[in-house]
Amino acid sequence: MAFDLLIKGGTLPDGSRADIGITGTTITAVEPEITADAGEVIDAAGKLVSPPFVDPHFHMDATLSYGTPRINASGTLLEGIALWGELRAVLTPEEVVDRALEYCRLAVSKGLLAIRSHVDVTDPRLAGVEGLLEVREKVRDVIDLQLVAFPQDGWYRSPGAEENLIRALDMGVDIVGGIPHFERTMEAGTASVRRACEIAAERGLMVDLHCDESDDPMSRHIETLAAETIRHGLQGRVVGSHLTSMHSMDNYYVAKLLPLIAEAQVAAVPNPLINITLQGRMDTFPKRRGLTRVKEMRALGIEVGFGQDCTKDPWYPLGGAEMLDVAFMGLHVGQFTSPDEMRSCFEMVTETSARIMGLDYGLGPGKPASLLVLDAPDPVEAIRTRPARLAVISKGRVVARTRPAETELSLSI
């Protein structure tokens, strides 16, 4: 049998060695040794061959806008939201498309081929929605882009937000979003979680809320989200993003909360780069980290994926579609230092996030032929060195190649 593309001699994330044969857009063979002909052979001997990186939490309508119309001087979440409001008022779909496509090109070069992006629906013009729906179509052959209708300024706090959100869903946005901790009162936050789950149940959609992105240990909307998930039969289709308040919650309360989240099969998506920079801002010392309880959730079988959240936008001046930076930061802040724990950080930017997003994904026969050849021998070394993506293959096509940087030392030691 001849293949269109053959990846020879690579090491898979689980440490096994395999050749991977690709026919058209599909992986058709994964075997220890494939000798058949192929249109193109990529030598991956000694290199890590991984399924693509997956970012389960991003804001593509805001990306690459850093400094427009001004810089976030305090660096806080709240100034970021205010600044975004200024930019949102003058957004055009064309400008959103330009920035988003620039980001997508960067993402492809980094092997990031699946992204869940929130898109703000606060402004009734829905310029971001219009722009990102166009982008979703434009990148469809390369990047799996999911969109979440996100009322940034609050479901009830922002006039017309629910109406705008429903219009966005009618236009083709995939997922119901929300931001319960940002409503005016706890009660309004609770009501917004209920309404989001109702709409998702009615329409057969998934839910992904910015949930409890706060250092306030009494911000407990995740509890309502889990209970409403069970009430509506939405198990496996709901995500609580951030969940930073859980860092500060009372341990006794968390001992009840985590089994409820597990029962509801609600997934968690913390965003380590952003959580470590935005949380704990009102603390003196000791200063809280703000990363949610990742190890404890994983121990109960709760799916946890690491998201990137931001790249050069009102909330974060850095970033660059580099999911290994996200894994690196998650590893440090969450203290994932045993070999198994370090490997789990790689899983949280690949397989686990793919499951959370419901993607058809992986390196088995019959799966979409999307994979990476990284210039590293294994997942832990990949996190340590953030290596070149020697080849990025999306749906059977080589879409990017990067040569490793070379350094010449001009000294003798």
* Shortest CB 297 distance to Fe ion, Å: 19
Residues 178-207 within binding reach of Fe ion (CB under 5 A): none
Nearer to Fe ion, 6 or 291 (CB): 291
* Shortest CB 242 distance to Fe ion, Å: 7
- Asked whether the beta carbons of 79 and 72 are under 8 A apart, the reply is yes
* Shortest CB 411 distance to Fe ion, Å: 46
* Shortest CB 205 distance to Fe ion, Å: 19
Residues 272-331 within binding reach of Fe ion (CB under 5 A): 309
* Shortest CB 210 distance to Fe ion, Å: 5
Q: Would you count residue 61 as binding Fe ion (CB under 5 A)?
A: no
Q: Give residue number: closest CB to Fe ion.
A: 309
* Shortest CB 35 distance to Fe ion, Å: 48
Residues near Fe ion (CB under 5 A), total: 1
Nearer to Fe ion, 309 or 322 (CB): 309
* Shortest CB 147 distance to Fe ion, Å: 13
- Asked whether the beta carbons of 372 and 54 are under 8 A apart, the reply is no
Nearer to Fe ion, 96 or 371 (CB): 96
Residue 223: active-site member: no
Place of tokens 């990846």: 7
- Asked whether the beta carbons of 117 and 145 are under 8 A apart, the reply is yes
- Which residues make Cβ contacts (< 8 Å) with residue 196, sequence separation at least 6? 155, 176, 177, 178, 207, 209
Nearer to Fe ion, 59 or 298 (CB): 59
Nearer to Fe ion, 309 or 378 (CB): 309
Nearer to Fe ion, 162 or 309 (CB): 309
- Asked whether the beta carbons of 116 and 146 are under 8 A apart, the reply is yes
Nearer to Fe ion, 143 or 278 (CB): 278
- Asked whether the beta carbons of 37 and 3 are under 8 A apart, the reply is yes
- Asked whether the beta carbons of 278 and 325 are under 8 A apart, the reply is no
* Shortest CB 135 distance to Fe ion, Å: 18
Nearer to Fe ion, 199 or 211 (CB): 211
Choosing from 130, 183, 213, 351, which is the catalytic residue? 213
Q: Which residues bind Fe ion (CB under 5 A)?
A: 309
Residues assigned a catalytic role: 213
